[in-house]
Amino acid sequence: MLEVAGLSHRYAGRESQLAVTDLSFSVDAGRLVCIVGPSGCGKSTLLRCIAGLIRATEGTVRLHGDEVTGVPADLAVVFQDYSRSLFPWLSVAGNVEFPLKSTRMSRAERRSRTDEALEWVGLSGARRKYPWQLSGGMQQRVSIARALASRPALLLMDEPFASVDAQTRFELEDLLRRVQREHGSTVLLVTHDIDESVYLGDRVLVLSKSPASIVADLTVDLPSERDQITTRESGEFVKLRGEVARLLQNRELAHSPERNA
């Protein structure tokens, strides 16, 4: 479904900065792939290039075999800062329905999609409320419902659970796993949390420090149905977590081709 080939991006300006360099990977339909790396390594830049929000300096991004030159119609993004991504003057249902208004859907179909998405995330009873009346975790559920309502071919998530408390984070992780499994969604999720990447992903791509390059592509050999306690206590989880941690802490990954040159 998704192909990234030789992707590099350099931010222009007084001090030119290479954010990501020569990234290549692919994602099959119906998979949940996590990208983990140190803070500031270029994870969000990579996601913006894939989403078509910025044009990469080098390389290509292809969705369904077509090169991405703008924001694809069948792609949705969930950002970390849910408080800025929701319209406070619209109800929960209004926020979820809003992107659908730019399509050719009838009003009845838009409402049906909205109700379905809210049911998926457990917010059917909050459709008339406003974002400011909800907890942080519920606001992020609204953001996820809005993304799912358009039934995107690819869902991109940029550290979507980083701004909520630990218990809410666990609930949202399980929500994502359930929805992704039940509806066969394809998800690419960026995080700096090692445990989260292993718990959520079918694969984990490990990035180096900035400028980011891929240093490992790990298969997560865990059951499709996971539990926050038993899964995290399993030997396979502990083994994978340790492997990712060692890769991230390896000083050899703290490279900078420009500085070494």
pLDDT band at residue 259 using 50, 70 and 90 as cut-offs: very low
Candidates 121, 165, 168, 178; CA nearest to 147 is 121
* Chain segment 68-116, per-residue pLDDT in tens: 988 888 899 988 877 778 999 999 999 999 989 888 889 999 999 999 9
Q: Which two tokens stand for residue 202?
A: 């079918």
Domain locations in the chain? 1-74+186-261
Residue 203: the pLDDT is 96
Q: What pLDDT does 162 receive?
A: 82
pLDDT for the residue numbered 14 = 55
Calpha distance 175→215 (Å, rounded) = 29
Least confident of 48-52, 57-61, 135-139, 197-201: 135-139
Q: Which of 95-99, 250-254, 255-259 has the highest mean pLDDT?
A: 95-99
Domain 1-74+186-261 has CATH 3.40.190.10: no
